[in-house]
Amino acid sequence: MELVVDNKVLEFVADFKKPEEGSEVRKQAMAALNGMDFPTTRIEEWKYTRVAKYVKRKYKQVQATANVENYKIADLNAHQLVFVNGYYDESLSTILEDDAVEIQNIDTLDEAYYSDLVDGTEENVFSLINKAYQTGGVSIQIKKNKKANHPIHLLHIVNGEEVIANARHFVHAENGSKAEIVATFHSENSENSFSNIVFEGHVETNASLTINKMQTEAKNMLHISNELFVQDESSNFLINTITTGSLLTRNGLNVIVEGENCHTEMNGAYLGTEKQHLDNHTLIDQLYSNCTSSESYQGVMDGKSVGVFNGKVIVRQDAQKIEAYQSNRNILLSKKASVNSKPELEIYADDVRCSHGSTIGELDPEAIYYLRSRGISEESAKQLLVAGFIGGVLDKVENEALRANIDDLFLKDFGWKF
């Protein structure tokens, strides 16, 4: 009897272009995909996030162009690297004069260095699909003891229906360097499309890296990000993740802290409406002593939207005197909105200070009444309160041009003023 193997993953990737010259990373990813399946809600990590209906679709990898003017951030004055459907578009990109920054195709990334760095970290089916079939992306080098003259804006646009965008990026912040990366994600006519992003990096000793990420794709898309950053000793890593887009968003963010005296900060703001499902999974893995981490994610969920937060902090046995702070706060604006929040601390060391908390609540009716009693309509009162709630996280975005852009977006999309 012949056994028919029904492998959904291989079927999913069947039509994707196989690059002629496969790098080791590609080959390994392709090989790994053979034995894989898509996650179901029976798997703990995907308990609240159901991807089945999305991965049944047949996505295509196609190049396209887009009107980048709509997505430029005024006054950001950045190196602007544009990716349409996961393909780098040189004609839409601008690389400025900057002796601290070297930007190259992701395929030029040193494989031995890379495999050594990510050795032992976990992959999932989506990161593997990306690594096997990525169509473009950049390897960014911030040079030793230098500060980038400009922020680096990775501007992603998905254009077209049932498209998959597999962009893969890597940033190497060398010893003592400093840089800011802005990653934005947009879409046009993108019914049922899929952004499948991998963004990884290495923050070396004494380096400082800030990433501001803003995803505003149409509410008919699937967006899955897999992010991994490794910190060496005395480094600083800050990432702010702002999510208002896609029908289903899954942000997977892992930070491995591989040295003493590091500071890690991750903040997130997610705003769901209609039937959106916004999932943030984070991990901070503390392997060495004397490190601090601070994590604050805040969600505002309206309509029938669902929020998921799972924030894990692991403090390994040898990591003493760790201070880890984590909070997840949520406001539900509608009776039909919901949030599943799960902060997790796994502590194996004995001298650590960790705190975590999670709240899910409604807007304070006493505060609404107070504002109304001053002549403010109920609608505006709610907007003021929501803006006040989420403003605390947005204040972590120090780049003024970007912040102005975010404020604009929130005013346009939600009517929220800051």
Partner 1 sequence: MLSIKNLHASVEEGQEILKGLNLEVKAGEVHAIMGPNGSGKSTLASVLAGKDGYEVTEGSVDFDGTDLLDLKAEDRAKEGMFLAFQYPVEIPGVSNINFLRTAINEIREYRKEDKISAKDFLAKVKDASNLVELDNKLASRAVNVGFSGGEKKRNEIFQMAMLEPKLAILDETDSGLDIDALRIVSEGVNKLKSEKNAIILITHYQRLLDYIKPDFVHVLSEGQIIKTGTKELALELEDKGYDWINEETAQ
Q: What element of type H or E holds 58?
A: none
d(CA 129, CA 61): 12
**Both tokens assigned to 102:** 């070297």
The angle formed by the CA atoms of residues 388, 391 and 396, to the nearest 5 degrees, is 155
Sign of CA dihedral 389, 395, 396, 400: positive
CB of 204 to partner 1, least distance (A): 37
Q: Which is nearer to partner 1, 111 or 378 (CB)?
A: 378
- Mark the segment that binds partner 1 (CB under 8 A) among 102-110, 135-143, 262-270, 382-390: 382-390
In the complex, least distance from residue 358 CB atom to partner 1, rounded to whole angstroms: 17
Report the nearest approach of partner 1 to the CB of residue 296 (Å).
13
Give the Cβ contact number of residue 305 at 10 Å.
Answer: 26
Q: Of the two residues 104 and 377, which places its CB atom closer to partner 1 in the complex?
A: 377
Task: Return the structure tokens found at 345.
Answer: 């601390």
Q: Name the DSSP class of 316.
A: -
Q: Which of 315, 332, 387, 397 binds partner 1 (CB under 8 A)?
A: 387
Query: Residue 331, exposed/middle/buried by CB under 10 A (0-12, 13-18, 19+)?
Result: buried
Q: Does 173 bind partner 1 (CB under 8 A)?
A: no
Least Å from the CB of residue 325 to partner 1 = 18
Indicate which single residue of 377, 408, 413, 415 sits in contact with partner 1 (rule: CB under 8 A): 377
- Burial class for 342, CB neighbours closer than 10 Å (0-12, 13-18, 19+): middle
- Binding to partner 1 (CB under 8 A) within 336-375 occurs at 364-367, 369-375
Residue of 15, 362, 378, 400 interacting with partner 1 (CB under 8 A): 378
Nearest-approach distance from CB 390 to partner 1, in angstroms: 8
**Looking at beta carbons only, is 275 or 417 nearer to partner 1?**
417
Which of 185, 219, 415, 409 is closest to 306 using CA atoms?
219
> Which one of 22, 357, 388, 415 is in contact with partner 1 (CB under 8 A)?
388
The CB-of-360 to partner 1 minimum distance in angstroms stands at 17
Residues at the contact surface with partner 1, assessed by CB under 8 A:
364-367, 369-378, 380-381, 384-385, 387-389, 391-392, 417
